[in-house]
Amino acid sequence: AQRVTQPEKLLSVFKGAPVELKCNYSYSGSPELFWYVQYSRQRLQLLLRHISRESIKGFTADLNKGETSFHLKKPFAQEEDSAMYYCALSPSNAGGTSYGKLTFGQGTILTVHP
């Protein structure tokens, strides 16, 4: 069975402070990990995926297979980063790319104060 845990339901920081949203997973195979974001009154959208190794809107996330973690980080938070963030996992094939369903964590509400 696959499981994603986001230990913090709420996270508050001030503008310009570093932010880290935690995500831990359990899965017997080799997963692909994603961060999805939902801004107020908008639909769920992909922020980044580990296989792309990109920095999107200043956010990065590194897959740590030893610790089974995929924490989301940003060195200087902005007010527009305030949103709900979901970590998600998908099974991957031998090439390391995903297929099939997503398993989501419970989400973390990030609030960035001015």
Site residues, other proteins (CB under 8 A): 4, 9, 43-46, 49, 86, 88, 90, 93, 95, 97-107
By the 8 A CB rule, do 105 and 31 touch? no
At closest approach, how far in Å is the CB of 68 from other proteins? 18
* Closest CB to other proteins among residues 52, 76: 52
Is the Cβ of residue 36 or residue 81 nearer to other proteins in the bound state?
36
Pairwise CA distance, residues 8 & 85, whole Å: 11
Give dist(CA 112, CA 114) in Å, integer.
7
Shortest gap between Cβ of 14 and other proteins (angstroms)?
A: 25
The CB-of-50 to other proteins minimum distance in angstroms stands at: 13
Number of Cβ atoms within 10 Å of the Cβ of 109: 15
